[in-house]
Amino acid sequence: MRFVKVPTVIAFMLAGLALGPFALGRLAQETPVLEYFSISSPEAAAPFAELGVLFLLFLLGVEFSFDRLWALRRVVVGAGSLQSLGSALAIAGVGLAFGLELPVAIIIGLALALSSTAIVMQVLVESKRAAQPAGRATLGVLLFQDILVAPILIFVGFAAMKSEANMAGVLFDALVRGLIAIGVIYVIGRFLLGRVFHLAAISGGRDFLMALTLLTVVGAAAITYSAGLSLALGAFLAGLLVGETEFKHQTEVDLEPFKGLLLGLFFMTVSMSLNLPDIAANIGWILAALVALVAVKVAIAYVAGRLFAGPHPLAIEAALLLAPAGEFAFVVLTAAQAGRAVPSDAATFAAAVAGLSMLLTPLLGHLGKRLATRPKAAAAGLPPQMDFSELTDHIILAGYGRVGQSVARLLAEEEAALLALDREPDKIRMAREAGMHAYVADAARPEFLRAAGIDRAAMLIVTVDDAARAEQMVRAALEIRPDLTILARAHDGDHMVRLSNAGADYVVPEAIESGLQMVRIALEVFGYDTETVRARIARARDEEYRRA
């Protein structure tokens, strides 16, 4: 549906609705030929669909790092707990007002409070905002929600049994098991994974390496699942650990084709679970509940974002992404209904609201992006280019020379928000003639960085020729904003080491990269296929960077 600009997630979910047991699947009972074009048992595809979610979280983990995760601790704990538990209590309060019993209201509140990690992160990946501050904050909240899986299921079990046992003791036991599982994954990944991958690459080649990658993803997910945590959390942790090895890029190349196919299957199975006849019979109440759910969760997530994550644009985008319910709602409601902790009609109603809300996730994500990037009117008496006080999630480009111009041109084609700083007026004039926000300023001075909105920026890119000034810019930026992502240009391996020591997250040494590009062209001329060349260059890049 690309030609009508329908987001991929919605396209898959609509396909699932059409092919599922309550649409073509039901008609297939009367018209047997439709059996070949419908799915009557979506449960059979669920295990394969779950793999798509695992691959998505694994690849996100590969692109992340432990340092970045530690920098998000305030968001994970603070915003995550306030959004999740605050939303659950608010939804439970509404349920009590409509006559539900307290345990039933709490279970439904917990089920609807959590969001869909798979859908939300896929929306962010498609819009190229997963690495932006709003994307990182959203991921932080989703990780906390994944940690809540075990306590929620334990509570549902106690509510179903109406047990008098010590629930605090059981929760403590679950916490200990979860920490042990995470510790096991960390130890194996830190001390064994790199060696095992290296042996696999030597002895078995690419196919063996791919098999080992699949085993790593599924194995880590199984460890966290056995401890009562979510499968997705284990896959994400595995990605973090593989991202620390030299095989990071190889695993990305190997898993990307599987991820798209299986993730699409996951979105289809989610929408197949929607009981269309039941929804049609109660459409008025369901739509009212849907509006209330989104409103309540947006309000609470916005407050959590402002308190623990960042400014208004970041908070409003994250809040809208987190507003719908997630696939975990079906797990909780099914378990509660099976244990008779929640009446069948209440569980069916809540599941319908959850499913429809998930369909809205891409639309709410698009709305959040529009609201977050909406420009405000220029201040009176100032040219429009002079008013950048409300820029958020923008990229500060330090240096508009030969390299800076190339970077700016390509990022502008992707509609990235750019702000260029350079000490030479002629270069700034060129940037403005190209339609950019650009100012004569020294990016090594903190006052200019603050004026450029570094506290709201998504990234600083340093492209200046002067090696010493480049280091000064990196240090000055990190003094103001320790969690800022910094990409810097280096002349050679020694300069790369100095910039890395100064705190730059990513450094591109010109001498090494030019050599790698020459090798890439040579291999392609010799007839190597594109994926093999890409993987070989990625390995060589990791080796050269470590050697430097």
Are 59 and 258 a contacting pair, CB within 8 Å?
Answer: no
Nearest to 115 by CA among 316, 296, 361, 281: 361
Query: Which residue do the tokens 């932080």 mark?
Result: 140
Residue 508 pairs in a beta bridge with 489
The distance in angstroms from the start CA to the end CA of the chain is 46
Nearest to 242 by CA among 76, 50, 60, 483: 60
pLDDT per residue as tens, the chain (548 positions):
544 456 677 788 888 888 877 777 677 667 776 676 667 776 766 777 777 778 878 887 887 777 777 777 888 889 999 999 999 999 999 999 999 988 899 999 999 999 988 889 888 888 777 767 788 889 889 988 888 877 887 788 777 666 555 666 766 777 788 788 888 888 888 888 888 887 877 776 667 778 888 888 889 989 988 887 778 788 888 888 888 777 776 777 777 777 777 778 777 887 787 778 878 888 999 999 999 999 999 999 999 999 988 788 889 999 999 999 988 888 888 878 877 888 888 988 998 899 899 889 989 998 988 887 664 433 333 334 444 555 678 899 999 988 898 889 888 877 788 899 998 888 888 888 888 888 888 899 888 898 888 988 889 999 998 888 999 999 999 999 988 999 999 988 788 888 989 999 988 888 777 777 888 888 877 777 777 778 778 777 777 666 65
Angstrom distances, CA of residue 34 to CA of 15, 20, 28, 43 = 15, 11, 5, 19
Query: Which residue do the tokens 């970077």 mark?
Result: 407
Nearest to 239 by CA among 220, 263, 212: 220
Query: Which residue do the tokens 């994926």 mark?
Result: 531
Residues carrying CATH 1.20.1530.20, the chain:
2-372
Furthest CA-CA distance within the chain? 77
State residue 377's pLDDT score. 38
Are 346 and 357 a contacting pair, CB within 8 Å?
Answer: no
User: Length of the chain, please?
Assistant: 548
Rounded CA separation 331/341 (Å): 13
Three-state helix/strand/coil letters over 219-286: HHHHHHHHCCCCHHHHHHHHHHHHCCCCCHHHHHHHHHHHHHHHHHHHHHHHHHCCCHHHHHHCHHHH
State residue 353's pLDDT score. 93
Angstrom distances, CA of residue 542 to CA of 66, 201, 248 = 18, 15, 9
CB burial of residue 379 (10 Å; 0-12, 13-18, 19+):
exposed
Residues carrying CATH 3.40.50.720, the chain:
384-547
Are 82 and 307 a contacting pair, CB within 8 Å?
Answer: yes
Amino acid at 21: P
In the numeric block, which tokens belong to residue 248?
A: 């990071």
State residue 380's pLDDT score. 35
Rounded CA separation 527/139 (Å): 41
For residue 439, the surrounding DSSP H or E stretch is strand 437-440
Given CA atoms 61, 66, 67, 71 in this order, what sign does their dihedral have?
positive
Rounded CA separation 124/135 (Å): 7
Rounded CA separation 245/497 (Å): 18
Rounded CA separation 394/375 (Å): 12
State residue 165's pLDDT score. 55
Rounded CA separation 257/205 (Å): 19
Q: CA-based angle 308:66:502, to the nearest 5?
A: 90
In order, the DSSP letters of 352-416 are: HHHHHHHHTHHHHHHHHHHHHTPPPPPPTTS-GGG--TT--S-EEEE--SHHHHHHHHHHHHTT-
Nearest to 172 by CA among 146, 154, 145: 154
What dotted CATH number matches 2-372? 1.20.1530.20
Nearest to 419 by CA among 447, 444, 443: 443
Rounded CA separation 408/295 (Å): 39
Are 358 and 119 a contacting pair, CB within 8 Å?
Answer: yes
Q: How many helices (H) and strands (E) does the chain have?
A: 28, 6
Are 332 and 152 a contacting pair, CB within 8 Å?
Answer: yes
Q: Beta-strand (E) ranges in 36-145?
A: none
Query: pTM for the complete prediction?
Result: 0.65
Three-state DSSP class for 326?
Answer: coil
Amino acid at 235: A
Rounded CA separation 188/195 (Å): 10
At the top level of CATH, the class of 384-547 is: alpha beta
State residue 321's pLDDT score. 94
Given CA atoms 467, 468, 471, 473 in this order, what sign does their dihedral have?
negative
Rounded CA separation 271/454 (Å): 41
Three-state DSSP class for 37?
Answer: helix
Those residues whose C-beta lies under 8 Å from the C-beta of residue 271, and which sit 6 or more positions away, are 12, 13, 14, 15, 16, 17, 20, 355, 358, 359
State residue 166's pLDDT score. 61
Rounded CA separation 497/440 (Å): 29
State residue 36's pLDDT score. 64
